[in-house]
Amino acid sequence: MKGRSLPTALRGAGVGLAGLALVLATACTGGSGSPTAAGEGETGPAVDVRISPKDGASEVEPDVPVTVEAADAKVTDVRIEQTGGAADAAAEESASPSPSGESGLGEVTGSLSEDESTWVSDRNLTPGSEVTVTATAENSDGEQTEVVSEFRTKQAVEGKRLELQSNFPTSGQTVGVGMPVIVNFDLPVENKAQVENSMEVTSETPVDGAWNWFGDTTAVFRPQEYWEPHQKVTVDLLLAGVEGSDGVYGIENHQLNFEVGREQISTIEDSQHTMTVERGGESIKTFPISNGRGDIRKYTTTSGVHLTMEKYDHLVMDSSTTGIPVDSPEGYKLDVDYAVRFSNSGEFTHAAPWNGRLGESNESHGCTNMSNADAKWFYEQSLMGDPLIINGTDRELEVDNGWGYWQRSWDEWLANSATGEPDTTDGEGTPGDVHGEDA
């Protein structure tokens, strides 16, 4: 996590300080690990090194931090190995790949105290794992001691395994500059701050961002401003061992990798019945459109900052999906081409060759009607996550209607984060602790 003081060279070096050449001179202390052989003539350890959890422990809570303490010495190396565990068991049960890209146990990194005498893990352990912690410390005379602690973490029982159900975007996608990171879990999350701190977003151009929750199973990360275009973004979902709710543990880590494409922002002026598309700040296209007729709320196109969500070259629009029977006076069932969704209340841009009032008046049931040629162009040029701003109607887009997340100001978004702190996407960790309350 961010905020711990440690030498830069020791941060993010994998498991401990694997690149250092260490010469083991003495045995370890008793009570905190398994002793190594003492050198000839040695009568005891040169350094008192203690590891927690202690050697031989079982049923260790996965979200308890690993701590290495050296009395009057400096911790120089910590290596943590995990075998078995809930993630391995889940992989055996399912032949399908993870929906999010790379996954696995991963490395357990940690942070040193200012005087380098204490090392604390900043990730959780995998449930049901055999864990081996090997730590080395060195005193001011250059004498070194190695300690080994072996223990087992508590298993995540069936029905209490927090797993990733889906995510947007998925690895390999290229998205628009407004695209959030959306993570859907299979079980409710109560310990939202700990889960937020277990999910780290890193971008090539660092920005401030934060997570918000929509219900107990959906977490959304959004930067303060739109992403800079043409850059790669990585999301490390370090869920293994995090206690999402009482007795419910994450079992697997995931990594998402996507790319932010060109900047395309489209603006609809309802009173003018036009859409203008800008790319890189330059206007490249203006079309005549026809929005919802607006005589009742459900036929009023929503105003606000939308994002393009998905698109179909052909789509059947059925009024019964919005509670209006097809055979009622207001019912409809239409085959439309080049449909691009921008809310969850049935709003799309799409071709409407039957609408003879494009650029003149609003005639639709809430969608944005376009000519066949213009709808095709917009369909082909749109990426998921492109901002689509609509001005001038009297129905405001709700923040949870589709991906209306930019409807919250940055101050509101930050206030709705469980941590209450911005998370800079610089790869230097998240704002707070991933461990449990009893850590």
Task: List active site positions.
Answer: 350, 367
> In this structure, how many other beta carbons lie within 10 angstroms of the beta carbon of residue 245?
16
Give the pairing of strands 102-104 and 387-391: unpaired
> In this structure, how many other beta carbons lie within 10 angstroms of the beta carbon of residue 71?
12
Gap between the Cα atoms of 113 and 119, Å rounded: 6
Identify the CA nearest to 124 among candidates 186, 185, 197: 197
Q: Which residues of 86-117 are buried (b: 16+ CB within 10 A; e: fewer)?
A: bbbbbbeeeeeebebbebebbbbbbbbeeebb
Side chain identity at residue 144, one-letter code: Q
Question: What is the Rg, in whole angstroms, of the alpha carbon atoms belonging to the chain?
Answer: 27
Tell me whether residue 53 is exposed, middle or buried, using C-beta atoms within 10 angstroms of its C-beta: 0 to 12, 13 to 18, 19 or more.
buried
Name every residue whose Cβ is closer than 8 Å to that of residue 118 and which is 6 or more positions away in sequence. Answer: 67, 68, 69, 70, 75, 112
Q: Which two tokens stand for residue 65?
A: 């931090």
Give the pairing of strands 253-260 and 174-175: parallel
